[in-house]
Amino acid sequence: MYELQPKDAEAAGAGDVKTNVEIANDTLKYILEDMQLRSLIFNLEDIKTKIDADSKGPYQNVFLQEIEYMNILLSEICRSLEEINQGIQGLLTISEKMESIIDALALNKVPVPWTTLAYPSKRGLASWLLNLFQRIDQLNLFRDDPLNIPKVIMISRFFNP
């Protein structure tokens, strides 16, 4: 149904229907400002200083790898959304890649550039973002005390279980 909606403001008519750009703008503001995604990027060097070579085991290796993967994903999400925001404001020309991300956001789909860096998932964007935050919460437990192994780990929340 959303695919049939007009993509530009002129075709939207009297403003009854939001365009893909308006929907994407609302979504990117929600992700960048309300969810404060940029602040969730992990300081990997700080975490590594808490682990000395003698106490580094397989558990710590796995979590450090997961944090690296998560940082790459979060950085790409923030970068692409900030680029789209600049495009919407007229500071950048909206490219084909940016337009595909705008369309995906408007259709509540996870954009392809994010899925190539992320874990396998068939979720819609809203559910995917909720799952992303659950994964970040699990990694935050490790970040706070990297030498303490939690009693329960959701392996399904890893990039590479």
Contact by Cβ (8 Å): 5, 17 = yes
Angle between helices 58-89 and 125-144 (to 10 degrees): 130
Q: How many CA atoms lie within 13 A of 70 on its CB side?
A: 28
Mean pLDDT for the stretch of residues 7-18: 59
Q: How far apart are CA 161 and CA 157, in angstroms?
A: 8
- What count of other Cβ atoms lies within 10 Å of the Cβ of residue 73? 20
Q: Are 6 and 23 in contact (CB under 8 A)?
A: no
Structure tokens at 7: 């993509």
How many angstroms from the chain centroid is the CA of residue 42? Answer: 13
Cβ distance 121 to 111 under 8 Å? no
**CB of 106 within 8 A of CB of 90?**
no
pLDDT band at 8 (very low <50, low <70, confident <90, very high): low
Bigger pLDDT: 153 vs 113: 113
The amino acid at residue 94 is I
pLDDT in tens, 34-57: 888 899 999 999 888 888 877 788
Which residue segments constitute the domains of the chain, with CATH numbers given? Answer: 16-157 (1.20.1270)
The structure's pTM equals 0.84
